[in-house]
Amino acid sequence: MLKGKVAIITGSTSGIGLGVARKLAAAGADVVLNGFGDTAEIEAVRSGIETEFGVKARYSGADMTKPDQIKAMVDETAAALGAVDILINNAGIQHTAPVTDFPAERWDSIIAINLSAVFHGIQAALPHMQAKGWGRIINIASVHGLVASVNKAAYVAAKHGVIGLTKVVALENAESAITCNAICPGWVLTPLVQKQIDALAAREGISEVEAKVKLLSEKQPSKQFTTPDELGDLAVFLSSAAAANIKGAALTVDGGWTAQ
């Protein structure tokens, strides 16, 4: 479906990003991975994708807090692979605390990675897409781009901003074959969420299994985690010709969270 396309996926050395990257590669796209981690493990993932799916896979260690590094990643991808057809803005971090106790430096870093990096990536990639006359921008937002939760001021603010930015980019390119949409997951079992589960278990003196059930029961009626593979399948669909007229959407994958 995506043979001949080139995709950049930020924050893709693990979790949601890696799940999306693998699904795009399975659909035939060459992929650029990005993120932090053990060098040997990242190389194993990169080479494994090439072997398993028969596509080109590169790695960029661009720091998502550095606009110049984001632009360099995009431009180097275009030079090395011939295009930037698909941009998946997925990189994200989290910190929880009441507003009165929220460290200013944590606010700044979450806004930088979860929101500003999305802008900088889009700004760098759009000229390549516009020159080619085709492109797909998919922002991994969150259910927290639509609703709020306590103790997550920076994350909620950033994800609301991502959805607003998604709509602006979609409108600015509405008459072209470039689309921009957001995917809004609820609870996805990733290393980021696992930390919240562990903290809940420790705080309330319950088992990890009990903490998972409690976490899901509070917000997600399905009581099931969304999987990275499910999000990857949706990203492949949004990158396909079938999604050509989906522009500026915020698609929830939240087990009914926002249906309540």
Out of 107, 155, 187, 225, the active site residue is 155
Helices (H), 54-152: 67-81, 104-111, 117-132
What is residue 39's three-state secondary structure?
A: helix
Helix/strand/coil percentages in the chain, nearest 5:
55, 15, 30
Instruction: Give the span between the Cα atoms of 22 and 233, in whole angstroms.
Output: 10
For 253, the enclosing helix (H) or strand (E) is strand 250-253
Neighbours of 245 (CB within 10 A): 7
Instruction: Clarify whether 155 is annotated catalytic.
Output: yes
In 3D space, the residue among 117, 108, 217 whose CA is nearest the CA of residue 162 turns out to be 117
Contact (CB, 8 A) for 20 and 88? yes
Q: How far is CA 62 from CA 8, 15, 93, in A?
A: 12, 18, 15
Which pair of tokens denotes residue 210? 């009990």
- Residue 180: beta bridge partners? 137
For 133, left (φ over 0), alpha (ψ -120 to 50), or beta?
left
**Enzyme catalytic residues:** 155
